[in-house]
């Protein structure tokens, strides 16, 4: 009678199971990084409209206050009718929450703007 001895196979499988149970949670989290602060070369500013967001979540088209995101969308579609390959500069106060900034950026993209230039202050 010939039987296959599966005991070594089961031992190896249990060891692999323990290894994967330990390493799986480590693989799900990203690395903690400290990103560098760096100033880049200044870019030539073109005659392009600017969407700005102040710290109180007020949205401006150039210097004109927009009441809602829908008003901003209407302004953007009107701009894109005149400028087919229209670009927009985007400025946001650093104290704003990330979700609101992304919501405004998504509104700009949904309106059809392909080029969004992020504006920052140069580091000292």
Classify each residue of 41-64 as buried b or exposed e, where b means 16 or more C-beta atoms within 10 Å of its C-beta. eeeeeeeebebbbeeeeebebeee
Dihedral, 102, 106, 107, 108 alpha carbons, nearest 10: 100
pLDDT in tens, 24-76: 776 654 434 343 455 666 656 667 888 988 888 999 998 889 889 999 999 99
Q: How far apart, in whole angstroms, are the C-alpha atoms of residue 79 and residue 87?
A: 10
Say how many residues make up the chain: 124
pTM beyond 0.85: the answer is no
Mind listing the domains of the chain with CATH numbers? 50-118 (3.30.420.270)
């Amino acid at each position: 009678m010939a039987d296959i001895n599966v005991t070594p196979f089961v031992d190896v499988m249990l060891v692999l199971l323990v290894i994967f149970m330990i390493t799986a949670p480590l693989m799900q989290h990203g690395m903690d990084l400290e990103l560098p602060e760096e100033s880049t070369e200044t870019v030539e500013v073109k005659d392009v409209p600017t969407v700005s967001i102040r710290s109180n979540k007020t949205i401006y088209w150039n210097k004109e206050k927009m009441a809602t995101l829908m008003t901003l969308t209407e302004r953007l579609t009107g701009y894109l009718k005149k400028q087919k390959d229209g670009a927009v500069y985007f400025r946001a106060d650093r104290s704003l929450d990330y979700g609101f900034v992304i919501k405004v950026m998504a509104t700009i993209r949904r309106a059809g703007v392909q080029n969004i230039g992020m504006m920052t202050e140069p580091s000292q």
